[in-house]
Amino acid sequence: MYNRKRAIRFSSIFLFLILCLLLFSAKLILIQFFRSSYLTSLAAKQHNRYLELEPLRGTIYDRNLQPLAVNVRAFSLYGNPRIMSQEDKQRAAQDLPNLLDIERSFVQERLSRDKYFVWLKRKIPLDKVEDVRALKIPGLNFIKESKRHYPNQTLAAHLIGFAGMENEGLEGLELKFNKQLKGEPGWSLVLRDARQRDLLLEKSFFHPKDGFGLVLTIDENIQYIAERALDKAFHKHKALSASLIVMDPRTGEILALANRPTYDLSRFAQSPAESRTNRAIAHVYEPGSVFKIVAASAALEEETFVETDKIFCENGEYRIANHILHDYHPYGTLTFHDVIVQSSNIGTTKIAKKLGPPNFYKYAKRFGFGQKTGIDLIGEVDGLLKPPSQWSRTSIGALPIGHEVTVTPLQLVCAISAIANDGVRMRPFVVKYIKDSRDELIRSFQPRVADRVISDDTAQRMKAILADVVERGTGRRARIKGVSIAGKTGTAQKVIDGAYAQNKFYASFIGFAPVEDPQLAIVVVFDEPHPDHFGGTVAAPVFREVVINALKYLQARDYD
C-alpha cells in the first residue's frame, strides 16, 4: 500500500514537471518566434538612446565679414519620468518654474508622462544651467544645442530675418537661404544602463554637416549710418512708417536697407507683424513727382524735346478731360530743363502727351516699374503699371506725375541707379557669395544687367538736370558742400478707400552722389510725416546725412 502511494506521488510530480516543461517550452517558442522583434526593440529602447546631432547653422556676414547672425552654445533641459520618484517630480515642479520662467502645471504634466524622455525647457541661458544642476534632481539632464544670436539686435532686421527654436529660418535671408544655412543633422546611438543613465559609449555615430555661411553686399557701417538717419527723422516727423535703401548703382549691390518701424531679432516673437514687414520691397504707393524722371528721360531719348525747348505751364491750371491739373506754384513758360527742376505737373504732362502713351509706357517698363526687380529676398511685390489700353481720359495727366501707378522703394532706387549708371539698370542683390567653414567658395553672385534703359548720352543729360534739381530746385536741402548731388523730390497724397486723403502724404527723395562718379544711389520714403510732408523738407535731409557720412566712411576705407 505504501509503495503504491509513493508511486502515485512520484507520477504526479513527474507529470507536473513534464507539464511545466511543456508550458515553459511553449512560452520560449512564443517569445523566440512570435515576440522576439517586439522584445528586442523594447530592450533597444531601454538600453540605447538615439540622439540627433544638430548641425551648426551658418553665419551671416556683412561684406567685410562682420558677423550679423551667429550660433551660440545653448543647453536644453529634459527629464526621464520613468526613473524619477514622486518626490523628485514634486521637487522639479516646485523649483524649476521660478528658475526657468515656466508654468508649474507644465512641469507636472510633462513629468506625469510614462516616457523615458520629455522636454522641459529648450535652449536655456548658461547661467540658468548651473542653477538647475545645483538642484541635483535625479532624472533631469541637459542636451547640448545651439541657438541663433543676432549681435546687432535691430540692425538690418528686415534683411536678415530670423530663425526659430529649431534653427529653421522663418523670415528674411534666414528663410530664403535656409537650406544652405541649416546644414544636415547627424546622429549618435548611446548606450544606457538599467537605470537609464548614459554610459558615454557610442555604438554608432554620423557627424553632422554644418551649414554654409552667407556673405552679404550689406556694409554694416553704412547700414548703421542709414538706420540712424532714418530713425531720427522717423521720430522727428512722427511718420507712420519709413524706408531707406542705399545701392551701388554700378553693380546693383545693396549696401543698406532699413525700415521703420523695426524690431529686435532676438525677440521677434514679441514684435507685431507690421514691424516685421520689409516695406522697402513689399509696400507699394503712388510715388508722385519722383516718377517724373520717366517722362523726362523718355522725351530726351526719343528726341521729342531738348533741354531748351519752351513749354507753357498754363499759369498753374490745366484741364485734362474733366479734371483740372494744378501746379503747387503757378508757372508761365519754362524750359524743358526747368520743368523738371521746378517739378511742374503741367509741364511734365505736356511732355508726356507729346511723347505719347505707348512710348511713355515703354520707358516706364524699361525703368523696371510694374514688375519685380528679381532681388534675392522673399516678399517682393511688382506694383502696378497699367498699359495704355487700360488708361482713362485723365491718365495722361496722372501717370507722368506719379499717380495711377504704384511702386516700391526698391524699384525707385533701381530706376535712379539706371540714370547714375549711364543708362544701364542693374539687377539688385544682397548676397555676394556662399562659403563653407573653411572659407572655401561654394557659390558667388555676380552683378547682372537688367536692361539698357536709355543711352549714355541721355543719361548724362538727365544727370545735369537732376543735379540742378538739387542745386536750385525742389531738392536744395540735399545739397552738400564740395559734393555734387543729383536727385528728385516727390510728394504724393495717399489713396485711402479709393479716394485721395486730405492731409495724408508720402514724402520721398531719390538721388545719387557724386554725379561725376556715382558710388551711392539712395531712396528715402516716409509715410504720413507731419506737420511737414514735402519730399524736399522731410526726405532730402535724410539723403544728405547718409551721403555725407557714407562717403566719409568709404573714403577712409580707400586710404586703409
pLDDT reported for residue 560: 39
pLDDT reported for residue 124: 83
pLDDT reported for residue 4: 65
Residue in 67, 264, 269, 262 with CA at minimum distance from that of residue 165 = 269
Q: 209 exposed, middle or buried (CB, 10 Å; 0-12, 13-18, 19+)?
A: middle
Q: What is the pLDDT of residues 22-76, one digit of tens each?
A: 777 776 776 666 666 655 554 555 555 555 667 889 999 999 999 999 988 778 8
pLDDT reported for residue 559: 39
Q: What is the pLDDT of residues 314-353, one digit of tens each?
A: 998 999 988 899 998 999 999 999 999 999 999 999 999 9
Rounded to an integer, the average pLDDT of 392-404 is 94
Task: Spot the catalytic one: 289, 297, 395, 508.
Answer: 289
**Out of 44-58, 82-96, 369-383, 428-442, least confident range:** 44-58
**Exposure string for 283-310, b = 16+ CB within 10 A, e = fewer:** bbbbbbbbbbbbbbbbbbbbebbebeee
pLDDT reported for residue 33: 64
Q: For residue 476, name the pLDDT band (cuts at 50, 70, 90).
A: very high
The span from the first CA to the last CA of the chain, in angstroms, equals: 120
Using CA atoms, how far apart are residues 511 and 103, in angstroms rounded to an integer? Answer: 54
Rounded to an integer, the average pLDDT of 248-264 is 97
Using CA atoms, how far apart are residues 353 and 541, in angstroms rounded to an integer? Answer: 33
Helix and strand totals (H; E) in the chain = 19, 23
**Number of residues in the chain:** 560
Residues 6+ apart with CB under 8 A from 534: 474, 489, 491, 505, 507
Q: Taking a C-beta distance cutoff of 8 angstroms, is the pair 537, 475 a contact?
A: no
Question: Would you state the CATH architecture of domain 50-81+119-216?
Answer: Alpha-Beta Complex (3.90)
Using CA atoms, how far apart are residues 273 and 351, in angstroms rounded to an integer? Answer: 42
pLDDT reported for residue 376: 95
Rounded to an integer, the average pLDDT of 518-528 is 97
Instruction: Provide the angle, in degrees to the nearest 10, between the axes of the packed helices 36-47 and 2-34.
Output: 70
Residues 6+ apart with CB under 8 A from 543: 478, 487, 509, 511, 522, 524
pLDDT reported for residue 75: 82
Give, as one character, the DSSP assignment of residue 165. T
The residue with greater pLDDT, 106 or 512, is 512
Q: For residue 525, name the pLDDT band (cuts at 50, 70, 90).
A: very high
Phi, then psi, of 557 in degrees rounded to 5 = -65, -35
Residue in 254, 549, 553, 543 with CA at minimum distance from that of residue 417 = 254
Using CA atoms, how far apart are residues 152 and 266, in angstroms rounded to an integer? Answer: 9
Q: Taking a C-beta distance cutoff of 8 angstroms, is the pair 540, 526 a contact?
A: no
pLDDT reported for residue 164: 83
**Out of 14-23, 41-50, 129-138, 298-307, least confident range:** 41-50
Q: What is the pLDDT of residues 193-239, one digit of tens each?
A: 555 554 444 445 556 788 999 999 999 999 999 999 999 999 999 99
Cα dihedral sign for 480, 485, 486, 487? negative
Cell of 282: 513689399
Q: 124 exposed, middle or buried (CB, 10 Å; 0-12, 13-18, 19+)?
A: buried
Would residue 266 show up in a list of annotated catalytic residues for this protein? no
Domain boundaries, the chain: 50-81+119-216, 220-558
**CATH fold of the domain at 220-558:** Beta-lactamase (3.40.710)
Helix (H) or strand (E) holding 406: strand 405-406
pLDDT reported for residue 300: 97
pLDDT reported for residue 51: 57
Using CA atoms, how far apart are residues 90 and 55, in angstroms rounded to an integer? Answer: 35
Phi, then psi, of 241 in degrees rounded to 5 = -160, 170
Using CA atoms, how far apart are residues 435 and 83, in angstroms rounded to an integer? Answer: 46
Q: Taking a C-beta distance cutoff of 8 angstroms, is the pair 358, 390 a contact?
A: no
The residue with greater pLDDT, 146 or 48, is 146
pLDDT reported for residue 32: 64
Rounded to an integer, the average pLDDT of 177-186 is 87
**Out of 9-23, 219-233, 255-269, 272-286, least confident range:** 9-23
Using CA atoms, how far apart are residues 467 and 515, in angstroms rounded to an integer? Answer: 7
Using CA atoms, how far apart are residues 221 and 497, in angstroms rounded to an integer? Answer: 40
Q: For residue 274, name the pLDDT band (cuts at 50, 70, 90).
A: confident
pLDDT reported for residue 200: 46
Phi, then psi, of 375 in degrees rounded to 5 = -60, 150
The residue with greater pLDDT, 328 or 312, is 312
- What average pLDDT does the structure give for the chain? 88
Q: What is the pLDDT of residues 483-497, one digit of tens each?
A: 999 999 999 999 887
Percentage of the chain with pLDDT > 70? 90
